[in-house]
Amino acid sequence: MPIISVSFLLFVAAAFLGYFILPLKIRPYWLLAASLAFYGCFDLRYFIFFLFSVFSAYFAAYYIGTRAVSPIGKKCVLAVAVLLNIGLLAVVKYLNYSLSLIGMLTGRDFAVVSVIVPLGIAFYSMQAVSYCVDVYRGKNAPERNPLNFLLYMSYFPIIMQGPISRYDQLAPELFTPHKFSFERLKSGMLLFMYGVFKKIVIADRAAIFVNQVFGNYNDYQGFEIIIAMVLYTIQIYTDFSGCVDISRGVSEVLGIKLINNFDHPYFAVSIKDFWRRWHISLSTWFRDYIYIPLGGNRKGKLRKHANLFIVFLVSGLWHGVGVHYIVWGMIHGFYQIFGELTASPRDKFYEKCGVNKNTFSFKFGRQLTTFVLVTVAWLFFRADGFIAGCRMLRSAFVLNPWVLTDDSLFEIGLDGKDWNVLLLSIAILLVVSLLQGKYSLREELQKQTCWFRYTIYILALLFISIFGVYGPGYNVSQFIYMQF
């Protein structure tokens, strides 16, 4: 069931009506039934992996939190639960890739193993691990009701690509029945609509150009590759944040608040700041369950930098299979370490040169530098392998970087009208993002007169309906982060 489809809208409408018609005590169980039905719409075989994660985490946490066992026993149970969940994730993602590497090293040919990669396994596995660790740390008491825990793990707006929610944040929202609110309904649908705008007007249109250039990078160079890099930087943000907006909007309609996974990451003034704003639920997960347990910044600078590098290496492995994902993670690890090592010399240089760091121009310069660094890293993330990424980088900045080939930009998947719509939509996104930094736009819109609000709603719907990426046999592009 595609998230952007009539069938999904009908499903959400049925879930919404059932939730608010049924008695309060039954509503959480209705959500559970709806969530399981939603996940079952994709492939029933996915439930084998999903239920394995659910029950391994449930019984491990129950044993850790309710049985009078030794500290060593609790650690062993926790280690088993973590290894089972992370191990399952590693097997389904890396089995064939590992066999191919072993074959290359040994000269043997291994048959490709048919492995199902369940949707959302990277996300619900991490929720299972965080739950077990938090129970072990005494942060949460173990959930005794298995149906409640099953709902926490399966909640349909987030199961496929997050945000990765913590038990103490999401459970009270899920298990507390919510009453209907028309204001909340309007606010949630507005957020839903904004997410759809990001996805089908910007991300899917940018994807046409990006896929053409990245898929045939030997045919392009210089300016075309640079434009593709910038568009992919915009595409992955609008695609992923658009899906999160849709998830948060649907959830808000039901009265359930989800964490905001993005805080305008391309306004970041450093790579460290970028990771405070990008995929916040994943960044904080790595911080709390990998970086801090490794020692964080408590054991000297050398150990701190090693821990940072390990975290970003793991981040690359989590995101995908291939050397280029690892390189992407290592690049960000290098960025952070280099930024910290040069922070003091840079500050001294600015002081000697009389640079005022509080000016708009200085901040904008840092934002632009960060955006360029992030864009270069995204090149390896999107490229069809590490070698392809290196060749594209060479073509972009070494071989005639400002020269177009015989095909103009208007002949690489997008015509002049598409470019006009894309640039206008990006401008709208930029203006809205700037305003969101100062105002709660949805709250401000709710304060306006009825005719003004509904004029905005209608114009937004018309814009999305007219300028969304459609065509013969249209099928909305799969969200990028669903593959992880």
Mean pLDDT of 281-309: 91
CA angle 33, 37, 39 (to 5 degrees): 120
CA 88 to chain centre: 21
Indicate the SS3 state at residue 78. helix
- Model confidence pLDDT, tens digit, residues 181-240: 898 998 999 999 999 999 999 999 999 999 999 999 888 888 889 999 999 999 999 999
- Contact (CB, 8 A) for 319 and 484: yes
pTM value? Answer: 0.91
Closest of 128, 154, 148 to residue 61, by C-alpha: 128
Mean pLDDT along residues 56-77: 87
DSSP 352-412: HHT--TTSHHHHHHHHHHHHHHHHHHHHHHHSSSHHHHHHHHHHHHTS-TT---SS-GGGS
pLDDT digits (tens, 9 = 90+) for 34-46: 999 999 888 888 8
Amino acid at 352: K
Residue 155 has pLDDT above 60, yes or no: yes
HSE at residue 44, side-chain half, CA atoms within 13 A, is 0
Q: Name the residue with higher pLDDT: 136 or 438.
A: 136
pLDDT above 70 as % of the chain: 94
100: helix, strand or coil: helix
- pLDDT tens, position by position, 161-185: 879 999 999 998 999 888 898 989 9
Distances (CA, A) of 132 to 55, 84, 91, 137, 480: 11, 12, 21, 9, 28
Residue 331: pLDDT above 60?
Answer: yes
Using 50, 70 and 90 to split pLDDT, how confident is the model at 98?
confident
Q: Can you tell me the distance from the alpha carbon of 88 to that of 438, in angstroms, rounded to the nearest whole number? A: 44
Q: Which two tokens stand for residue 306?
A: 């090693």
When pLDDT is cut at 50, 70 and 90, the band that residue 473 belongs to is very low
pLDDT at 484 > cutoff 60 = no
The tens digit of pLDDT for each residue in 388-420 reads: 999 999 988 887 666 665 557 788 888 888 999
What is the chain's mean pLDDT, rounded?
Answer: 88
